[in-house]
Amino acid sequence: MATKDIRSGDLIIEVPYQLLITRAKAISSLGSWAATLSSHQAIALYLILEKSKGIRSPWYEYIRVLPERFDSITSNMIDFLPENVRVDLERQKEKFERDYAAIEQLQATSNAYNPISSNEFLWGWSCVNTRCIYFKASNCQLSFSSDENIAIAPMLDFLNHSSCAKIMGEFNQQSNCYQITTMTTIKKGEEVFINYGPHDNFRLLIEYGFTIPNNPFNYVSMDEEFLSLSLPDEDDTIKQYKLNILTQAGFMGDYTLREKEISFRLLTALRLHVLHPFIPSSTHAQSLIARWKDTLIGRLDKINEENDQLVFDYLERMCQTTLNKADIVMNNLSSELSRNGTFHIYQIWDESVEILKSVIDLCHAK
Ligand SMILES: C[S@@+](CC[C@H](N)C(=O)[O-])C[C@H]1O[C@@H](n2cnc3c(N)ncnc32)[C@H](O)[C@@H]1O
């Protein structure tokens, strides 16, 4: 909480370099046998070993106020997540497993410490994942590759995230401190937030385990709907032909909707997808593809009126299908909202519904 009015441009926190937990510091304490570890692995391992020292650790006061455990998304909750979040979650899980494998490999070759279980490592790994700061290589002498530019900054990591917070975080070479300056005013008594980055609720949930209401970065992914879209009597080879063109043009996937906003990638992909009937060898089809390519470079804003109408008709159907999915998931979730994590998944779908409805309105206006 702000104990006094804070002005825009004021420093809200600074952490001296000696108090940052960096990879270099972790490795020098762990020993040269740990030199192969990445920043994330080394800092996580260091925190675990320091925690096990209890009061004998110089970090005792800090570590004792860290979360004791981190809740995970349980396997029965995974089914309620949108497909794109499930994919990201799987990647996250793989990253954890790779990192733990690196620790296990070290354990097999060194007896410098008692073996660390996967659960213990999950604690250290989650501390780093949810609390580390990133440095820009240009204004920091701490390390060299951007991947290595992470550190734990005790105390600074107790500040929560708000998408409204405007801050500047950087390492100040003169004072040798990592500093955060607010670019907005904060009134006495208000919570002091920082901004973890332009994260949508999917990213916030996967990386940090929470979501925020009215997140301006929210979006709905239409990749799955797009790929399952089929036109009446269209042969699979024709569908594949169109998908190949999209891939070659660099327009395959990453189709998103935001509040009253359809991504250019999705519009572009739909323009091609809904061309029907479509005989690739015909001169008519080839001239339509040429017109489609003109829409890519802005020479045309549509292939033709008929195609434009079909794009919005199909988009409306895709939105409707996703709305129906949201309805089923939200119905299933509504009786379990008190369960950990369920609320956040419900919130994600609830905000997706708002986005989908706003896009359906756009389609009607066409
Ligand atoms: C860097 S820590 C912030 C300090 C944390 N609140 C604590 O007391 O240890 C990040 C974690 O804080 C929580 N958090 C941060 N901002 C939040 C917000 N706006 N709403 C809910 N939880 C938030 C999440 O659990 C996240 O993983």
What is the pLDDT at residue 108? 87
Q: What is the 230 CA–ligand 1 centroid distance (Å)? A: 43
Residue owning the nearest CA to atom 8 of ligand 1: 158
Nearest CA to ligand 1 atom 9: 158
Quote the ligand 1 centre to 131 CA distance (angstroms): 9
- DSSP H stretches of helix in the chain: 23-30, 39-52, 60-63, 75-78, 83-109, 118-131, 201-203, 223-228, 236-249, 264-273, 283-296, 305-334, 342-365
Residues in the chain: 366
Tell the residue nearest (CA) to atom 27 of ligand 1.
Answer: 208
CA-nearest residue, atom 19 of ligand 1: 161
**What residues are in contact with ligand 1 under a 6 Å CB criterion?**
67, 130-131, 157-158, 160-162, 208-210, 212
| Residue to substitute in 194, 195, 207, 208 for testing ligand 1 pocket (most ligand atoms within 8 angstroms of CB) | 208
Structure tokens at 341: 């994590």
Task: Measure 162 CA to ligand 1 centroid, in angstroms.
Answer: 10
Relative to the CA of 65, which ligand 1 atom is closest?
9
Distance 300 CA to ligand 1 centre (A): 47
Distance (angstroms) between ligand 1 centre and the Cα of 69 equals 13
- pLDDT reported for residue 147: 56
Q: Which of 127, 210, 215, 217 to mutate to test the pocket of ligand 1 (most atoms within 8 A of CB)?
A: 210
Report which ligand 1 atom has the smallest distance to the Cα of 66.
9
Per-residue pLDDT of the chain (366 residues; tens, 9 = 90+): 999 999 999 999 999 999 999 999 999 999 988 999 999 999 999 999 999 999 999 999 999 999 999 988 888 889 899 999 999 999 999 999 999 999 999 988 888 788 999 999 999 999 999 999 987 544 444 444 455 689 999 999 999 999 999 999 999 999 999 999 999 999 999 999 999 999 999 999 999 999 999 999 999 999 999 999 999 989 999 999 999 999 999 999 999 999 999 999 999 999 999 999 999 999 999 999 999 999 999 999 999 999 999 999 999 999 999 999 999 999 999 888 777 678 999 999 999 999 999 999 999 998
For residue 201, report the distance from its CA to the centre of ligand 1, in Å. Answer: 13
Alpha carbons 302 and 298: distance in angstroms, whole number: 9
Q: What is the DSSP letter of 158?
A: G
Residues 6+ apart with CB under 8 A from 27: 34, 35, 37, 42
- The pLDDT of residue 139 is 47
Element (H, E) at 258: strand 256-258
pLDDT at position 74 is 82
Q: Which position has the token pair 């593809």?
A: 289
pLDDT at 337: 76
Kindly report each contact of residues 57-61 with a partner whose C-beta sits within 8 Å and lies 24 or more positions away, as own/partner: 59/21, 59/154
Q: Which domains does the chain have, with CATH numbers?
A: 21-152 (no CATH), 220-365 (3.90.1420.10)
How close is the Cα of 341 to the center of ligand 1, in Å? 14
**Residue 27 CA to ligand 1 centre (angstroms):** 27
